[in-house]
Amino acid sequence: MDKNNKARYIMFTIAFSILLLTNGFQVKASISSINIESEAALLMDAKSGQIIFGKNEKISMYPASITKIATAIYALENTNLDEIVEISEEATDVDGTKVYLVPGEKVTVEKLLIGIIMNSGNDAAFALAEHIDGTMENFEKNINEFLTETIGVEHTHFVNPHGLFDENHYTTVEDMAEITRYALQNDSFRNIFQMKEYDWDGEGWDTTLITHHRLLKGEYPYEGITGGKNGFVNESGYTLVTTAERDSLQLIVVTMKTNLKNVPYTDTIQLLDYGFENFETRKIEQDTVFETEEGRFIAKEDLYFTINKEHTYVTQVTNDGFLSIIDENTKNTLTQFSLTLEDIQTVEMEEAVASEVDETKADSSMHLLIGSFVSLFIILAIFIWQSDKPRGRFFRKM
């Protein structure tokens, strides 16, 4: 290669490299590039419930005010939004962040829920718990029963409705994601969870509430944020729950325990980027039938699962009706579902009834056809018989 050609080649290579770096490649976030500084974090698909990323997801942590997500959904399932709550003196004496309720003030459940989620009002959380269960002892018993039996979490125990520190008040990032996922099924919760501003006209405080969640209010601009709740006490550090949606992919991020105020948000953005750039939710339609040696199994509802956008999957069904979704690229089982065995006798009966109906319809058609031929034959015979008879008086008069 002569000097001129060599120089041209080098210049072309440099120019092409610059072009690729600036325009050609959209580098996707990979799991190896994620650097989570919070002690625990989790990324979950809200539709499927699958965990996309986890760090110390089963380690017990102190939640601080993200506790109020559980308090809110518990209240929504045990009260009506327009119920009136009379504020006790005990509620107004609670430490920490408040919406400055006053003793004897009457406030709706809905307004207290807004004060709990948007402004993290500990007095509002106490007032709601007291309204529902009478005492904090009853609240502790009932909310933990609700968490384990209704939502199904296993590593959470709450002793208060607000998240102020108690060594017996703990959860995990996995459980908090499950609690949030359950709460998102409630329309009223979702409406409050996404609020950014609210005009609060209380007896003790007249102001405009602005959400404390810095992603939700746009301090960290990010497309698709649909809700969030933050928390802090010294013993727990900063905690954060965030929900977001793009292209029908609904994500939940939970981060817990860091002493740096910005870290929950930078961690959350990393995880959201990773989720949105690499994954999608897919669905197996309700009433899809799977055949096995033991019979026919059916999906009684839509079944959602999460998979890498660039991967394919296969399904496997065991003879006892467990459906596995397997990533063909990694050979990993993504999730499993329990299918319903169709009652063979019922299926056979339905098929027999359908066959009998078809036969009846066929018989009816045949009978109608024969009847038509018989009627036509009779009409024809009468016509021939009449044509052979002598003409009557009527014809002679013409």
Q: How far is CA 301 from CA 100, 287, 323, 339, in A?
A: 46, 7, 13, 9
Q: Which of 144, 123, 147, 126 is nearest to 135 (CA)?
A: 126
Asked if 134 contacts 231 with a C-beta cutoff of 8 angstroms, the reply is no
User: Does residue 364 have an active-site annotation?
Assistant: no
Instruction: Using the structure block, give the residue that is written with the tokens 């292209």.
Output: 247
Q: Which of 65, 98, 111, 236 is catalytic?
A: 65
Would you state the structure tokens that stand for residue 175, as one six-digit string? Answer: 């459980």
Q: What is the CA radius of gyration of the chain?
A: 34
Element (H, E) at 120: none
- Give CA–CA dist 92/380, Å, rounded: 101
- Give CA–CA dist 105/200, Å, rounded: 14
Q: Which of 68, 98, 111, 257 is catalytic?
A: 68
Phi, psi of 293 (to 5 degrees): -65, -25
Q: Which of 55, 120, 236, 257 is catalytic?
A: 120
- Give CA–CA dist 82/151, Å, rounded: 25
Tell me whether residue 229 is annotated as binding: yes
Chain-centroid distance of CA 314 in Å reads 23
b (16+ CB within 10 A) / e for 59-80: eebbbbbbbbbbbbbbbbebbe
Strands 333-338 and 289-292: unpaired
Phi, psi of 62 (to 5 degrees): -90, 125
User: Does residue 98 have an active-site annotation?
Assistant: no
User: Does residue 120 have an active-site annotation?
Assistant: yes
Give binding residues for substrate as ranges: 229
Give binding residues as ranges: 229
Q: Residues with catalytic annotation?
A: 65, 68, 120
